[in-house]
Amino acid sequence: MGISSNGMGANDGGCALIDNGFPIIAIAEERITRKKYDGGFVNSLKYCLKNAHCLAKDIDHFVFSNCCDEPLNIDFVKDILQKNNLSIPEKKIIINKSHHLAHAAGVFYPSQFDKALILVVDNEGNILQKTSDNYWENSLERTSMYIGEGTNIELLERYNDAPGDLGIGGAYNFFTHWLGFNSYKDAGKTMGLASYGEDFFQGLKLFSGGKCCLENTNKDKLGSVRRFFSEKAGVDIGERGKSTKNPDKIQKDVAFFIQKETERILIEIVKKAVKKYKIKNLCISGGVALNCVANYKIFEKTGIEKIFIQPASGDDGQCLGNAYLGYFSKNKLGKRKSVSSFYLGKKYSKGDIKRAINSYSDKIEHIESKNLYKTVAKLIASDKIIGWFQGGSEFGPRALGNRSIFANPRNPRTKSYINGKVKFRESFRPYAPVVLEKYLNQYFELNFPSPFMLFAPRVYSNKANFIPAVTHVDGTARVQTVNKMQNSRLYSLVSEFEKITGIPIILNTSFNVNGEPIVESPEDAIKCFMGTNIDVLVIGNYIINKK
């Protein structure tokens, strides 16, 4: 059992269970507690044990990590367990002191590569003592390069982690705060806003000689960003953005700048590593790996031939990496198994679904459809907004078709309607297309599948007018591909939509509203449905309408 235990001040706790080298269940704590970015682990631990039908005594190792100046210790873990009536023998508890090693394991072990470079980039990891020439004394993990081969992972280099250096993720965090967003977890908003900006600060560099030029002061993040532009460019960008619902030109241009500089430094690091180590397979993990625009640029411009990023790249994926580390520490000769599906949540039974529906019987009505996919495809084609709940939930922050909201990509008004009336979020934020894999090359400049929505290629100019709701202002789209083996229900729905409209694509976004976790249970789905302007809810084969 891998555990991300960020109860010491950080976020994104969760648990993942590996059996015989393969993940069988995983979930973030927030999905259960309904508290966004919850840093605990107790509820997700109980969830994994219960739904894997095992007890704590059946688990070989419990492997913990966190993200903190002081790595977890046994006493802290035992205290939390005791307070929550959980009993784990101390001999079964392993503390992984390297946050970045958990990230590296969580992406390399489920990849298809026998050998690959592993780039880990995030806001911050743990403080580590100097143990080799590759470590700075008392350095904070920020950007690391590993090599994975077989079942072995070895540190190659660290970048931007000298004492006092913010690093790549840290800098993106500071800019995100200045732009007016509440948390570094809102970095995706910065990425979306960047496409509306211009290269006003052309020639200005944020990273120089491998070091971030931004002043590292957690007490004055906003002032640090303002001083950088004042000192380096002679421009006063003013105080923190007052409104993020209607950002002004300077906010857009600042977002453009941080996105552009992040792409530039990542490309530089990967190109040098490819040249130095002669390896052209790449895995990326850490929170920055969720930057799908940068991921696509890395693939385009570095000489990398194959790239793998798993959907829980942020700190919620720490638990998966820890589970792998525990498994291979116990099974030195264990065999790796590539993972193509990350639908790792509990599969709710028909009885679970019926009980949830019955609890809202005075507010909803339902029918069990015998022709589900065609019926729902017709609804989407007629501009209905659909809440879609199927199978086990996706692991990670991306809705991949089991906890999704679907809509018509052909209507140019769909995006603004969902942002304003359904998700209640900023108007500039884009939506993703889910496309039948066999049609990928006809619509997008991407020549490999993207099942986890982690690359943003360009939409072919002659196709963009057909799918305006999922084409971003810069002509790109955060693509998710689907085939029948990956998700047969999603595949069938998109196929029916293609038969009706000629377009093998539907708009896909996460089943939640702004500021809340993605729904986990049937009860969560119905509650979200009732509180939004979603037109129809589909759970299993049931089609649900409001009375």
Last residue of a domain, one of 330, 359, 377: 330
pLDDT reported for residue 455: 98
* Strand ranges of the sheet holding 306-308, from the earlier edge strand across to the other edge: 152-159, 143-149, 115-121, 281-285, 306-308
Residue 129: band (very low, low, confident or very high) from pLDDT cuts 50, 70, 90: low
By DSSP bridging, strand 62-65 and strand 2-4 are parallel
CA distance 417 to 378: 19
CATH of the domain at 38: 3.30.420
Give pLDDT, residue 239.
Answer: 86
Residue 463 has pLDDT above 80, yes or no: yes
Pair 84, 125 in one domain: no
Element (H, E) at 361: none
Whether residues 133 and 222 share a domain: the answer is yes
Listed in sequence order, the DSSP H helices in 195-335 are 221-233, 249-277, 292-301, 318-330
| Same-domain check for residues 404 and 429 | yes
Cα separations in angstroms, 31 against 393, 403, 531: 9, 11, 18
Domain boundary among 309, 340, 367: 309
Indicate if 488 and 443 belong to the same structural domain.
yes
Residue 342 lies in a domain: no
- Residue at 336 is within a domain: no
Residue 163, pLDDT score: 65
Is the same domain home to 453 and 490? yes
Angle of helix 249-277 relative to helix 292-301, nearest 10 degrees, comes to: 40
Same domain, 492 and 365: yes
pLDDT in tens, 510-542: 999 988 999 999 999 999 999 999 999 999 999
Residue 301, domain extent: 111-309
Q: Name residue 146's beta-bridge partners.
A: 118, 155
* Cα separation, 192 vs 374, whole angstroms: 33
Domain identity same for 131 and 41: no
Q: Do residues 366 and 387 share a domain?
A: yes
How many other C-beta atoms can be found within 10 angstroms of the C-beta atom of residue 186? 17
Instruction: Say yes or no to pLDDT of 430 above 60.
Output: yes
CATH of the domain at 380: 3.90.870.20
The amino acid that residue 28 corresponds to is A
Q: Which residue has the tokens 């809705």?
A: 399
Domain count for the chain: 3
**pLDDT tens digits for range 322-364:** 999 999 998 888 889 999 999 999 999 999 999 999 999 999 9
Task: Provide mean pLDDT across the span 123-151.
Answer: 74
245-292: pLDDT as tens digits: 889 999 999 999 999 999 999 999 999 999 999 999 999 999 999 999
Specify which residues 343 forms β-bridges with. Answer: 394
**DSSP run (H or E) holding 523:** helix 522-530
Residue 343 domain flag: no
Name the range with the highest mean pLDDT among 106-110, 156-160, 332-336. 106-110
pLDDT over 90, % of the chain: 81
**172 and 296 in a common domain:** yes
Indicate whether 87 and 231 sit together in one domain. Answer: no
What's the confidence (pLDDT) of residue 3? Answer: 95
CA 463 to chain centre: 27
Task: Report yes or no on 259 lying in a domain.
Answer: yes
Could you tell me if residue 500 is inside a domain? yes
Reading the block at residue 205, the tokens are 């560099």
CATH at residue 231: 3.30.420.40
The pairing of beta strand 152-159 with beta strand 505-510: unpaired
The two tokens of residue 141 are: 């993990």
Q: Kindly report the CA angle at 18 between 16 and 19, in degrees rounded to 5?
A: 150
Q: Is residue 339 part of a domain?
A: no
Phi first, then psi, for residue 99 (nearest 5°) are -60, -45
385 touches 534 (CB < 8 A):
yes
The verdict on 157 and 55 lying in the same domain is no
Q: Is the pLDDT of residue 132 over 60?
A: no
- Quick check: is 341 in a domain? no
CB 394 within 8 A of CB 453: no
Residue at which a domain ends, from 252, 280, 309:
309
- The structure's pTM equals 0.96
DSSP letter, residue 420: I
* Any domain includes 338: no
| 83-100 residue pLDDT tens | 998 889 999 999 998 999
CA distance 253 to 248: 9
Same domain, 281 and 324: no
Question: pLDDT tens for residues 135-144?
Answer: 444 567 889 9
